[in-house]
Structure 1
Amino acid sequence: MTGTPPADQLAARLDVADRLPGAQELRTASYEGLTTAPDVPTAVVDVGCGAGRAVAELAERGVPATGIDPDPRMIALAKGRWPTSDFRIADAYALPLADASVGGYRADKVFHELADCERALTEARRVLAPGGRIVLVGQDWDGLLIDSDRPDLTRALVHARADRIVRPRAARGYRGLLLEAGFTDVSLTVHTTVLTGKAAIPLLLSLTGGAEETFGAEQVTDWIAEQRLRADADRLLLAVPFFLATATAP
């Protein structure tokens, strides 16, 4: 299957991800990391907002938020779901915000898609007021842990999938990136999502896209069959490490 999935399919995938074990807790932790001093603006920009759930949840907390996404389909979907919220089409390198106009910057599962994370952080510093808070959340695509009878093939599939991502290990580098960009009070925590049932199958299948050419159709088919059997027998294990970094703008 080629091409970009329709907006409704993308929305369905986002909804599934939002319901995974620990997803709500991780979003909540990211919101709490945006807390600023009383003299700092309360407004937040959510970069790569997708279907807009975080913007809506921030609004429920009394935090005015603007959602930014480069995909017009996602912005249209977000506006349809949350019509009273502020959503705009833009990318992480050119935010449609004035200098020092927000007190919070949030980017969830975004930086692994950016070719130039350093440039994005320069833009983050521009829009953040002094004392404003930045929160970065993302999974380490090269650090997925999967139980399998074929650990060699599993490692190869994980690495091959990671190699198809722009910056698959960006999340493990959050702390260094923030320090290099001049942020202070940098903190980094790891939150591991553990999946043991059939909900993990779509993510596992994403590892095998195009893998037949490299590893052979028979091996890939057998590996998928093993994971399905594990799910049926309640013996599947997929652990995904998510890094959450917070810091303060100087």
Structure 2
Amino acid sequence: MSSLLATLDAIEREPAAVALRTRSYELLGDLTGRTVVDVGCGGGRAVAELAERGAHAVGVDLDPEMIAVARERWPAGVFQVGDACALPLETGSASHYRADKVLHVLEDPARAVAEARRVLAPGGRAVLLGQDWDMIAIDSDEPETTRRLVHAKADSLPSPRIARGYRNLLLDAGFTDPIVEVHTGVFTGDTALDLVKRITDEESWLAEQAARARANRILVVVPIFLVAAQA
């Protein structure tokens, strides 16, 4: 848990990640006095930032340890343990919904998006963002091995390519007027090395990436889909 949190914290502090979160808030629209549910809230940073924008933000995560961390870090926030497919909210009780890096770990992302539609009041907005695990680019002297390892990591996840399907998921659930953006996360240094270590434990390949990190030559590029739509 501590290792995962450290990696998440490092990624969340990257300028591109800060800009992406900010853009996701902009696509939600006016948040003043509105109830926003942030699904898969993790350590709670987005909930705190949404509250700073005037929202009544509610963070939901399936992991009780993550919720405990979020409550400790952001004591003024509202955090609940809950399932993305069975949110602890009344029907129509939220005006905004946000899910960041969540749907790829679900066996049935469509259920989660249907649940988003349930909890949103008419006219509410949903924003989905996350990476496509099969499109990650890593600079390496071993391109064939790199391609194999990236695909293997993708295939180990329940829904690794769901980000490219966000638009259709929202349309299928009854949302309208989707906006699709693709942003690029560029990672170097220790953050990039932490990321590749989460892709594989293959020692020889990781040794090359570690050498690249020491020489300031490591590069990981992650395409991130950001899709917003109206309930």
Where does residue 140 of structure 2 map in the other structure?
A: 148
Count residues with an aligned counterpart. 231
Contact 1:136 1:246 in 2 (8 A): yes
Q: Is the aligned partner of 1:177 residue 2:159?
A: no
Cα shift at 1:42 = 1.5
1:194 to 178, 182, 186: 186
Tell me how far apart the structure 2 counterparts of residues 119 and 170 of structure 1 sit (CA, whole Å).
13
The secondary structure found in structure 2 opposite 1:62 is coil
Contact 1:36 1:103 in 2 (8 A): no
Q: Is the aligned partner of 1:13 residue 2:7?
A: yes
1:61 to 33, 36, 53: 53
Where does residue 132 of structure 1 map in the other structure?
A: 124
Where does residue 220 of structure 2 map in the other structure?
A: 238
Contact 1:52 1:67 in 2 (8 A): yes
The within-5 A match list for 1:199-238 is 199-209=191-201, 220-238=202-220
TM-score (norm 2): 0.95
Contact 2:182 2:226 in 1 (8 A): yes
The secondary structure found in structure 1 opposite 2:114 is helix
Over the matched positions of the two proteins, sequence identity in percent amounts to 58
Tell me how far apart the structure 2 counterparts of residues 32 and 142 of structure 1 sit (CA, whole Å).
28
Where does residue 213 of structure 1 map in the other structure?
A: none
The secondary structure found in structure 2 opposite 1:246 is strand
Contact 1:36 1:133 in 2 (8 A): no
The within-5 A match list for 1:101-140 is 101-140=93-132
Cα shift at 1:36 = 5.0
Unaligned runs of at least 5 residues, structure 2: none
> Residues 42-84 of structure 1, C-alpha deviation per residue, up to 9 Å, x if partnerless?
1100011111111100111111110111111111111111112
Contact 2:7 2:194 in 1 (8 A): no
Q: What amino acid is the match of 1:68?
A: V
Q: Is the aligned partner of 1:99 residue 2:91?
A: yes
The secondary structure found in structure 2 opposite 1:131 is strand
Where does residue 86 of structure 1 map in the other structure?
A: 78
Larger deviation, residues 194-203 vs 240-249: 194-203
> Residues 121-167 of structure 1, C-alpha deviation per residue, up to 9 Å, x if partnerless?
11111110111000001011111101111111100000001111110
Tell me how far apart the structure 2 counterparts of residues 134 and 203 of structure 1 sit (CA, whole Å).
28
Tell me how far apart the structure 1 counterparts of residues 31 and 193 of structure 2 sit (CA, whole Å).
43
- Residues 1:193 and 1:37: Cα distance change in structure 2 (over 3 Å): closer
Tell me how far apart the structure 2 counterparts of residues 237 and 72 of structure 1 sit (CA, whole Å).
33
Contact 2:31 2:54 in 1 (8 A): no
Tell me how far apart the structure 2 counterparts of residues 37 and 149 of structure 1 sit (CA, whole Å).
47
Contact 1:197 1:236 in 2 (8 A): yes
- Residues 1:55 and 1:37: Cα distance change in structure 2 (over 3 Å): closer
Contact 2:62 2:83 in 1 (8 A): yes
The secondary structure found in structure 2 opposite 1:33 is helix
**Which of the two has higher C-alpha Rg?**
1
Tell me how far apart the structure 2 counterparts of residues 243 and 115 of structure 1 sit (CA, whole Å).
19
TM-score (norm 1): 0.88
Q: What amino acid is the match of 1:23?
A: A
